[in-house]
Amino acid sequence: MKNKPWLEIYNESYQDCIVGNHEGLVELQKAIDKALDEGSYKLPESLDSDFLSIRITEIKPHEEEILKSDKLIGLAVMSGLFIWGLALPIFAIYQLWQLFQ
């Protein structure tokens, strides 16, 4: 009896790897070939995996460019919070010092 094919791309024991049994990796190879021919391919339900399909795209999902204006806004907000976190305690200490003078 053949083993049920399985694959994992998120595995704690084998990080940064695609892990699977022989049958699963052969099924993955077939699925990749079909996706290359058709643009995308939905994996069969008989394949136990932690992903459902394979798709071709020329755009990397995490390749978004952060605009300079967004960086400046973030810098301004963080600077403001830092100054507020520094100025507020100093002002409070000054007021307490004035109160007890």
Q: What is the pLDDT of residues 44-54, one digit of tens each?
A: 888 888 888 99
| Tens-place pLDDT, residues 40-95 | 999 988 888 888 899 998 877 765 666 677 778 888 899 889 888 888 888 889 88
| Tens-place pLDDT, residues 16-25 | 889 999 999 9
Average pLDDT over residues 5-19: 87
pTM for the model stands at: 0.55
pLDDT greater than 90 at residue 33: yes
Residue extents of the structural domains in the chain: 7-55, 65-101
The DSSP secondary structure of 20-89, one letter per residue, reads: E-HHHHHHHHHHHHHHHHHSEEEPPTTSB-S--EEE--SS-TT-PPPPHHHHHHHHHHHHHHHHHHHHHH
